[in-house]
Structure 1
Amino acid sequence: MLLEKLCNAVGPSGYEGQVREIIKNEIKEYVDEIKVDNMGNIIAHKKGNGTKVVVDAHMDEVGFIITGYNEDGTLRFAALGGINPKIIPSKVVLIGDEKLPGVIGLKPIHLQSKEERTKAVAYKDCCIDIGSNSKEESRKLVKLGEYAIFDTKFSEFGEGLIKGKAFDDRMGCAVLIEILKENYNCDFYGVFNVQEEVGERGAYVSAYNIQPDIGIALEGTICADMEGVPKHLRATEIGKGPAISIMDHTSIFNNEITDAIEKIAEEKEIPHQRRRAIAGGNDAGAIYTVGNGAKVATVSVPCRYIHSSISVASLRDYKNTVKLMREYLKTF
């Protein structure tokens, strides 16, 4: 399965090479031209006339970077992207291209003082245990600046559900690959950007070079449809189809485009929902602010537990996102 291949691949921010090779091989038969710019973004072009449309997904996932060594052989580290420190203790990680296993450690709860038990977990309180007994041994095994990712394998479970890492944004990458297999009446660019999780850095470069009229970001987005969360705080819900955003912290999305996408969903009877939150941001924030600017929108696959070691999503939502984007692009 394409999603499984993409989600199991290694690709934290700044280290997207493995994901990039998978995508290039998947799309090469369906596009007129593939370029990789100096940042590492993939720009896939299906040449056409009229409106210049960019559909964007980012290749990188949240991860960690090694910043130092402790005397006992454990490693100091920092986040690559937004990973709340509350969720990291006891998680298994893989370090670098050699996939050296490690476990994120924290002082045991029964040894913590009353003050320690009540304060928030911070990265400085944690370490990565690689089974080493000394700083010297760890230096030989792991270089400073090496990356780490969660050790999580993709699988299906329940009724049509999937679980794995990096759903943000391998979901978007998989959707974009599928829609590139069709032809459309516009000048179409499928762009797979790098370093979104650390500030949409790749998207600024690719958008500046393409100068699109319209930009649509494909994402795996937040979902909190669980017991104890009031309906009005559930940004999206699994099983209710792709989510069309209103705004977020980096973009106010174009009503003309979002209304057109929603109208197509209604006409084609594709399940869909509005994203009922404005938190976060994505590559659309870069696309619509460079050069002459562009009209932008975001369409997302709802994902539970995003930016953690594992997420959950619906295969039906993923397939309906592919269907909705294909139908919308056919309207040009």
Structure 2
Amino acid sequence: MFLEEILEKGGLLDKLTSLDGPSGYEGEVRNFIKEKIAPYVDEIFVDRMGNVIAHKKGNGKRVIIDAHMDEVGFIITGYNNDGTLRFRALGGINAKIIPSKTVLIGPDKIPGVIGAKPIHLQDKAPREKGLTYDDCCIDIGTYSRSEAEKLIELGEYVVFDTEYDEFGEGLVKGKAFDDRMGCLILMEALKESYNADIYGVFAVQEEVGERGAFIASLNVKGDIGIALEGTICADMPNIPKHLSATEVGKGPAISIMDRTSIFDTDIAQDLMELGNELGIIHQRRKAIAGGNDAATFHGTGEGAKIATLSVPCRYIHSAVSVASKSDITNTIKLLVAYLKTL
């Protein structure tokens, strides 16, 4: 595996994160992934929800490895008389971080800017509490409702317009690290050979309630389910160390529990022991906030033993995230090594 190449500007991660795929609109991402993984799997199936299920046949345990294709974004809900657009979130995006962000709208990638009243003109309440979605609009450069209606349809999706790049010492920045990181790791893992019966699930609509993975879990019943994520990270100077869920540069994060799951201690222990044995740096995810697709695999049918393996990402669910290249490569190495033990 030439892992460094896939993380360079113009490499696989750049291509994945540059695709548009908010919840419910994952088509671009789905088509790209299907094409790239086809040479490495025995069969590919797309269910009615739009999940991609890739099967590598084996004789051992039935293992589901999940990464979700969707990213947080927005959806157009209306027009203003001045030609600007009304919108709401697809997934969990804090309204405080959205003003002045550049966005792309729909498959034609029409550029826009999220606008808000300048701070000079704001009353005390929005200054202290922050703006809401009702205080913002998307400016596409039109001057009337009729002009805007000709360009943009109601229900059109919106994503952040962010360029992927390398910076600092071994870091990368870009949009949609949650969860194109997981997609990248799963795509690389599918290139290897295993004894276990592997089902790679590239799921839809995780950011709006794990909807795609729920359907996949009904159709693919596994003994083990592993969710791959780009996860929260708060290793910042104003946050006490014990409140930092994960730290960039400290390796893949192995979850203990979250809002929807308590993860299997045996799998977690196996992952940590394997990491120690192979010299793959890793960490425990200390926060229990959030949730992911793993919950659907142990809460459906007979259930499955589950684990979550994540890449720490700063500033998640915003216009740009930051991650460490070494964390990404170590996550791939640890996952592949674990699967080869089954």
TM superposition score normalised by structure 2? 0.96
Q: Tell me the amino acid that sits aligned with residue 171 of structure 1.
A: M
SS in structure 2 at match of 1:7:
helix
Distance between the aligned counterparts of 2:182 and 2:126, measured in 1?
40
Instruction: Provide the rounded CA distance (Å) in 2 between the counterparts of 1:162 and 1:239.
Output: 12
Query: Which of 232, 235, 248 does residue 238 from structure 1 map onto?
Result: 248
By how many angstroms is 1:120 displaced? 3.0
Q: Does 1:327 align with 2:327?
A: no
Q: Please give the alpha-carbon distance, in whole angstroms, between the structure 2 residues aligned to 1:129 and 1:235.
A: 36
**Aligned counterpart, 1:263:** 273
Counterpart residue number, 1:190? 200
CA displacement at 1:295 relative to structure 2: 0.8
Q: Secondary structure at the match of 2:185?
A: helix
Q: Which amino acid aligns with 1:42?
A: V
Match of 1:26 in 2: 36
The answer as to 2:56 corresponding to 1:57 is no
SS in 1 for 2:40: coil
CA shift for structure 1 position 50: 2.7
Which residue number in structure 2 is paired with residue 283 of structure 1? Answer: 293
Matches within 5 A, 1:202-241: 202-241=212-251
Counterpart in the other structure of 1:36: 46
For residues 88-237 of structure 1, what are the structure 2 equivalents within 5 Å?
88-237=98-247
SS of residue paired to 1:302:
strand
- Residue 115 of structure 1 deviates from its aligned partner by 2.9
Q: 3-state DSSP class of the match of 2:66?
A: strand
Query: In the TM superposition, what is the alpha-carbon distance from 1:320 to its structure 2 partner?
Result: 0.3
Corresponding residue number in structure 1 for 2:6: none
Aligned to 2:239, the other structure's residue is in SS state coil
CA deviation profile, 1:105-144 (whole Å, cap 9, x unmatched): 1111111122332233211111101111111111111000
Structure 2: which 5+ residue stretches go unaligned?
1-10
Q: State the alpha-carbon separation in 1 of the partners of residues 277 and 105 from structure 2.
A: 48
Indicate yes or no: 2:263 matched with 1:253: yes
Instruction: Give the number of aligned pairs.
Output: 332
Task: Write the distance in 1 (CA, Å) between the matches of 2:114 and 2:228.
Answer: 31
Q: Distance in 1 between matches of 2:212 and 2:271?
A: 26
Q: Secondary structure at the match of 2:248?
A: coil
Q: 1:274 aligned to 2:304?
A: no
Separation (CA, whole Å) in 2 of partners of 1:324 and 1:23: 22
Match for 1:81 among 70, 91, 108?
91
Q: Which runs of 4+ in 1 moved over 4 A?
A: none
Paired AA for residue 233 in structure 2: C
In structure 1, give the amino acid aligned to 2:112. G
Q: Distance in 1 between matches of 2:118 and 2:211?
A: 38
Residues 1:6 and 2:16 aligned together: yes
Q: Cα offset for 1:224?
A: 0.9
Displacement after TM superposition at 1:18 (Å): 0.8
